């Protein structure tokens, strides 16, 4: 990770869960982290887990990644105030508890696609063009899901509805990005990291209940952060394209 010391990373969905764990670990590795989240105050709250000398390395910016103008505004700040971006962690994502066949549920389905797919598109587009213009050999990471490789089913859990479709889209986008980055003559890396179940807010209160989860194996946010740091720490000629992480005993 030495090559990234004193560089700038943007982490979306940095207010909790995987995003918060990644933000803290990147700061401890010597980076400045711009944490994007709809709940800007909760990003600032992460400072209590950092030593006094590291707290200045965390910069919260209020941003809903599903809103293009929010994303453009946030990256303009990053470009002008922090001399660009070296690493982007596309972590923001949502699950809505509904069914594809449920009547009058267009809004939650649309929100899933706008956050999980369009949010990644907006952020990656802005970060890539800043990196390219500044001639930075950066790294873009997408927090995908095992649901981007196989549609999960756990009896008794709510429907995953549009979530797997959004993550399958991310899997395809990762390969498209790899080819486009190459076609533009850059050495910017792209990595998709696909966890199984992780203990985060995205599961929702119902899914976390013992009678629903039973003995389902589950990962911690720190497990995924460790994988992100591994991918980032590879030498310049090595690209971890797709990494799937499952807890031992996962039943998907």
Task: Indicate the range of 96-100, 115-119, 228-232 predicted with least confidence.
Answer: 96-100
Question: Catalytic residue at 230?
Answer: no
Rg (CA), the chain: 18
| CA dist., res. 144 & res. 169, Å (int) | 10
Instruction: Identify the DSSP state of 118.
Output: I
Contacts of 20 (CB under 8 A, 6+ apart): 14, 43, 46, 221
| Listed residue (160, 142, 138) closest to 92, CA to CA | 142
Whether the per-residue pLDDT at 204 is higher than 60: the answer is: no
| Listed residue (12, 6, 3, 66) closest to 34, CA to CA | 12
Beta bridge partners of 140: 88, 190
| Listed residue (201, 237, 183) closest to 15, CA to CA | 201
Mean pLDDT of 121-147: 97
- Average per-residue pLDDT for the chain: 91
Structural domains in the chain, CATH included, are 2-245 (3.40.50.720)
pLDDT of the residue at 196: 92
Whether the per-residue pLDDT at 17 is higher than 50: the answer is: yes
- Other C-beta atoms within 10 Å of 35: how many? 30
pLDDT of the residue at 168: 98
pLDDT of the residue at 206: 47
Whether the per-residue pLDDT at 23 is higher than 70: the answer is: yes
Look-up: residue for tokens 């994988």?
227
Give the pLDDT band of residue 246 (cuts 50, 70, 90): very high
Whether the per-residue pLDDT at 207 is higher than 70: the answer is: no
Whether the per-residue pLDDT at 128 is higher than 50: the answer is: yes
pLDDT of the residue at 250: 78
Kindly report, residue by residue over 26-55, the tens digit of the pLDDT: 999 999 999 999 888 888 888 888 888 899
| Listed residue (131, 121, 141) closest to 242, CA to CA | 141
Whether the per-residue pLDDT at 211 is higher than 90: the answer is: no
Catalytic residue of the set 122, 163, 168, 177: 163
Look-up: residue for tokens 């911690």?
220
pLDDT of the residue at 181: 98
């Amino acid at each position: 990770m030495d090559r990234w010391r004193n560089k700038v990373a943007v982490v979306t969905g940095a207010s909790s869960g995987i995003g918060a764990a990644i933000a803290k670990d990147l700061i401890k590795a010597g980076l400045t982290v711009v944490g994007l989240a709809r709940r800007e105050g909760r990003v600032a709250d992460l400072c209590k887990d950092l030593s006094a000398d590291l707290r200045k390395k965390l910069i919260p910016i209020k941003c809903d990644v599903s809103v293009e103008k929010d994303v453009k505004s946030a990256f303009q700040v990053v470009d002008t105030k922090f001399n660009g971006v070296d690493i982007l962690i596309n972590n923001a994502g949502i699950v809505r508890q509904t069914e594809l066949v449920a009547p009058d549920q267009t809004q939650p389905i649309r929100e899933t696609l706008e956050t999980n797919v369009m949010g990644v598109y907006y952020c990656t587009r802005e970060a890539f063009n800043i990196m390219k213009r500044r001639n930075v050999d950066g790294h873009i990471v997408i927090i995908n899901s095992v649901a981007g490789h196989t549609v999960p089913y756990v009896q008794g859990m709510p429907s995953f509805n549009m979530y797997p479709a959004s993550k399958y889209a991310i899997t395809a986008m990762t390969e498209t990005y790899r080819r486009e980055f190459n076609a533009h003559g850059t050495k910017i890396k792209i990595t998709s990291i696909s966890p199984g179940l992780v203990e985060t807010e995205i599961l929702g209160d119902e899914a976390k209940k013992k009678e629903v989860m039973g003995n389902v194996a589950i990962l911690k946010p720190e497990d995924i952060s460790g994988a992100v740091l591994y991918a980032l720490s590879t030498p310049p000629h090595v690209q971890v394209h797709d990494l799937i992480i499952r807890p031992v005993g996962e039943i998907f």
